[in-house]
Amino acid sequence: MFKALNSLIFCIVTTFLPVVTVVGQELETPKESPFDVHSYEKFLWGFRAGLNMTTPHFEDPDARKALDGQPTIGWTIGALGQFKLTNRYAFQAELGYSKKTSRFTYDGGASENRMDMDFVDLSLLLRRRYMFEWGKNIRSDVFIGVGPNINYWLSAQGTFNNPSGSTEYNIIMDGTPDANYNNMYLNGVNRWLFGIDLGVGINAPITPHQKIFIEFRATLGQTNLGGSGSEAFINLVGFNGSTFQQNLLKSNLKTFSITAAYTFSTNYLESKMGHSNKDNMIKKRKTKRRKR
């Protein structure tokens, strides 16, 4: 099911992006240049934070039979910058930090492994907005977004639960395995993980230059945590030689998140003008409104 979904999403994205660019240029080309002082573009910047829910997805058929992925709550925080391309399209870049968890059961549900992972996240999104009014002169947008997602895997910590009890362990990446049962060694893993972001949300204006964005987003990971040559080892009964060890890294992450962003807009052209130029521009805008 996930393979079919990923294939469908890939086809939509590769088809949608060129079409959006062409259609957007044809339908949204303003009478004046977007960079003209009369129709300047705004730059939005701000901070975002929220909760996520991650589920490991095992592409290998044997891994899917042995391991049962469980959705687990995490969180994310970061900064964003948005450039308007036209009246309806914008480009948004995000940089942040997130905590995601790969949790699954095995041995018929009798045993469970939880791996809490730390990531640096980068998202690049093309956004399309649909404008509406809350009330008189109070405008807002519903928006959709799509784009690539890049995660860098910083570190991880783990917990192993079975009928005998619970054991916490450290994750050592690219280290030499030894007899220390407090350490799990992950060698040859993929530290760079790539995925696709699909989002939908709404914004609410607070002041003319401040907005709050609420967004629901799906991040569909396309890169497995490990490759064919990856190894996982811990000197602990229930791990060494188990199905768990063999299949641990044969998964990618599917994450759903809900975030809130507080943004500020900057009129970067007006900020460089003198008072006389600003006054002239304001007068011209008022004149245009009266003509309409």
Report pLDDT for 89. 93
The single-letter code of the amino acid at 103 is R
Q: What is the mean pLDDT of residues 78-92?
A: 93
The closest alpha carbon to 151, from 75, 83, 100, 90, belongs to 100
Residue pLDDT, tens place only, 185-243 = 999 999 999 999 999 999 888 887 888 999 999 999 999 999 888 888 888 766 655 66
In angstroms, rounded to a whole number, what is the distance separating the alpha carbons of residues 161 and 224? 24
In sequence order, what are the residues at sequence separation of 6 or more whose Cβ sits closer than 8 angstroms to the Cβ of residue 8?
none
Q: In percent, how much of the chain has pLDDT > 70? A: 73
Report pLDDT for 273. 53
Residue pLDDT, tens place only, 268-287 = 555 555 555 555 555 555 55
For the whole model, what pTM was predicted?
0.76
CA 116 to chain centre: 17
The single-letter code of the amino acid at 273 is M
Report pLDDT for 153. 97
- Quick one: pLDDT band at residue 30, thresholds 50, 70, 90? very low
Q: Is 63 exposed, middle or buried (0-12, 13-18, 19+ CB in 10 A)?
A: buried
Flag whether pLDDT at 99 surpasses 50. yes
The residues that bridge with 55 in the sheet, in sequence order, are 254
In angstroms, rounded to a whole number, what is the distance separating the alpha carbons of residues 124 and 31? 28
Residue pLDDT, tens place only, 166-177 = 889 999 999 888
Q: How many helices (H) and strands (E) does the chain have?
A: 4, 12
Which of 21-35, 142-156, 261-275 has the weakest average pLDDT? 21-35
In angstroms, rounded to a whole number, what is the distance separating the alpha carbons of residues 144 and 128? 5
In sequence order, what are the residues at sequence separation of 6 or more whose Cβ sits closer than 8 angstroms to the Cβ of residue 23?
none
Q: Which comes out higher in pLDDT, residue 259 or 6?
A: 259
Q: Which comes out higher in pLDDT, residue 84 or 289?
A: 84
Q: What is the mean pLDDT of residues 105-126?
A: 92
Kindly list the structural domains of the chain, giving each domain's residue range(s) and its CATH number in brackets, ordered by start: 2-30+41-266 (2.40.160.20)
